[in-house]
Chain A
């Protein structure tokens, strides 16, 4: 009986503590080192300046579209700010689940007075999406398993004679079919016109067929670093920040292959249907968290490039390791000599079709 009383008392205390603080905001992100960088660069400074705001994190960005749809249908919105990829932001914006944001009045201008939309440039792909970082999907390899000649081209992935062993690839067609066509001799600028034909898709799968039985398919970004650390794969694709963390912070024998890295952008959307009081706080946070200095600050914690042009010169050193971060950015000129600009508008139109073909090909 005594324990029951104790439990009742503690939980009542916990609940009233939750109710007493002025505003609880729920931010949705991807977890891991990326969310940690957002916490350090944006949320902690903001909470320090606004003690009445408490930010809680939900690592559900992977299901952002499905969950926001369900919440909307059930009339039970529990999220206040959501971190999504470009393609998800386009779906949410089209469906009216994300709120349009005016770059001139609701986002901070650059220090030299350039307005936010110009400063973000091409990264602000639609009116609902406030970009934060440019990241890339690229390749890492075990330095001790590739001999004296480490791979220098993405086509080395398809060369089983030169680099025998398993490869880790993301279980989705995006990037993989582009790399396959490129290594089958298609010029970079022709990739999407070739992919628009059935023969082109078949050609990409035929190229992937040459390594299919050596591929380990991954779905979560943490898998490739784990597989590389175990030595279960010789090379694997993943997000460049994960590889940086495995190499620089965990001292694993892994090398970076930047050739044909595939750029993508991550950013915030504000869900529609927030109460006016909450929306005011969220918009205030958003203006603070996406200004020039804050985006540059995030690069102290993770090797992703800030989405604003004006932030790039402000990128400094890694907070804990003290190494210069600029050379580890996917946008650094030395790393960006040969980049795959993945075409999200093309994929928005063809995704369902190619996904179905990819799944059928996987099952063969």
Chain B
């Protein structure tokens, strides 16, 4: 790295670094100007400011960290003068970006990720490509990220209020979280989701794993046809499955209540759990089948050779090896049930109302930021769940002496 940067000549300040910085400044200035009602003036001021800032820090601060700090402080003070506390924060961020850009260009770091023999066109394309990748990440994450600050809104609308934009503490509140934690309209669905999803997951994982193992045996007749039928709930449009399930499970419910004398609530839970298990099974089958491809069949023959029965072989030999597939299939099945709204609307009654159902009606009947608070909590739970899973996977790979792939 050091060798490479040292052979890149320092680019021309007036012909390269300053113009590019001015363009970046013009873009940011255009955004600020649009918000303030004068985009042209904003763009011009932004261009001049960015070029001057780059010139000053490159001339007087050869050390990067110092220069970036200075850039952030200068722009932050300008922002503070223009728009108060929010301007300070936004300005400091803009200053960091602009000064980072100035050093990145000036020191020749922009060439560090391409071979030394690359032409200017190659370098331009390589960096444009990275920018496009960054934008794709931005478009994937932004809709989720924007929900999080809105959930701390002090008002009952999905709106960034002026107080929020000025970073005024009065514009923020935890009242929507409090509403979620105390309102029975939300607590009951939360409880229902945590009853229905684990049971549906247990059923889908058990049945799905068995089906996958059976279907991976070469001697099973009509394997492909059976597989296609089992994963059809994933392919058939959900609304069609749901309509069919409504009539099928209504009949089952009548049987459970009239013949077996189950209570109406219990039979309702059984119906929803079974319906969700059906939806989860395809995910388990697919992930477990994929894991079984890498499973060495001679291990089961070796176990049989040493006198272990099929059940013992399964639990002691096969299961531990395909466990990652089973767990990720189970995770998908859990999320399917936890996120599902169409089938439960058809099959369930109000007693079995789940969290997504409540969010759906909440969005339709009352646009309340409590939904955003719930969404934020669910996003955090998903991140924790996936992180835990990844850490467990790495740990098991370390224990088994495999290098993480």
Contact = CB atoms under 8 A, between A and B. Distances in A.
Interface stretch (A91-99, A134-142, A223-231): A223-231
Most chain A CB atoms below 10 A, which of B263, B264, B364: B364
A229 B195 contact: no
Contacts of B268: 78
Contact of B253 (A58, A60, A76, A252): A76
A154 B367 CA distance: 26
Given A32-B366, A76-B253, A14 B349 contact: no
A7 interface: yes
Contact of B353 (A28, A58, A229): A58
Contacts of B264: 24, 78
Contact of B254 (A18, A32, A75): A75
A319 B97 CA distance: 52
Interface in A187-239: 220-223, 225-226, 229-230
Nearest to B251: A74
Interface stretch (B53-61, B152-160, B290-298): B152-160
A19 interface: yes
Interface in B263-296: 263-266, 268-269
A76 B365 contact: no
B367 A223 contact: yes
A7 B351 contact: no
A105 interface: no
B250 A76 contact: yes
A225 B349 contact: no
Nearest to B252: A76
A250 B366 contact: no
Contacts of A78: 264, 268, 349-350
A15 B350 contact: no
A31 B195 contact: no
Contacts of B351: 18, 24, 26, 56
B266 A62 contact: no
Interface residues of A, number: 38
B157 A221 contact: no
Contacts of A76: 250, 253-254
Given A26-B349, A30-B365, A230-B157, A15 B269 contact: yes
A11 B352 CA distance: 12
B157 A225 contact: yes
Nearest to B366: A32
A74 B364 contact: no
B314 interface: no
A167 B199 CA distance: 48
B198 interface: yes
B349 A250 contact: no
Interface in B103-131: none
Interface in A242-276: 250, 252
A47 interface: no
A74 B365 contact: no
A298 to B, nearest CB: 17
A229 B350 contact: no
Contact of A230 (B159, B246, B349, B361): B159
A31 B189 CA distance: 15
A271 to B, nearest CB: 13
A73 B346 CA distance: 14
B301 interface: no
B191 interface: yes
Interface in A1-21: 4, 7, 10-11, 14-15, 18-19
Contacts of A4: 198, 202
Contacts of A7: 194-195, 198-199
B247 interface: yes
Contacts of B195: 7, 10-11, 14
A219 B269 CA distance: 32
Nearest to B191: A14
Given A11-B195, A226-B367, A250-B156, A19 B266 contact: yes
A14 B198 CA distance: 14
B157 A19 contact: no
B119 to A, nearest CB: 48
A70 interface: yes
Given A32-B366, A62-B364, A15 B265 contact: yes
Interface in A73-121: 73-76, 78
A56 B188 CA distance: 10
B355 to A, nearest CB: 14
A59 interface: yes
B362 interface: yes
A362 interface: no
Given A26-B349, A58-B350, A59-B361, A18 B263 contact: yes
A57 interface: yes
Given A32-B365, A32-B366, A226-B158, A18 B353 contact: no
A13 B278 CA distance: 25
A336 to B, nearest CB: 27
Contacts of B199: 7, 11
A15 B361 contact: no
A359 B340 CA distance: 30
A30 B253 CA distance: 27
Given A24-B265, A58-B349, A75 B365 contact: no
Nearest to B253: A76
Contacts of B247: 73-74
Given A18-B265, A75-B250, A220 B365 contact: yes
The 5 closest A-B pairs by CB, nearest first: A31-B365, A58-B350, A32-B366, A78-B349, A74-B250
5 contacts: A7-B195, A14-B195, A74-B250, A226-B158, A252-B157
Given A78-B349, A229-B157, 19 more contacts: A15-B266, A18-B263, A26-B349, A31-B362, A32-B365, A32-B366, A33-B366, A59-B361, A59-B365, A62-B364, A70-B246, A74-B247, A76-B253, A220-B363, A222-B367, A225-B367, A226-B157, A226-B159, A230-B157
Interface of A: 4, 7, 10-11, 14-15, 18-19, 24, 26, 28, 30-33, 35, 56-60, 62, 70, 73-76, 78, 220-223, 225-226, 229-230, 250, 252
Interface of B: 155-159, 185, 191, 194-195, 198-199, 202, 246-247, 250-251, 253-254, 263-266, 268-269, 349-351, 353, 361-367
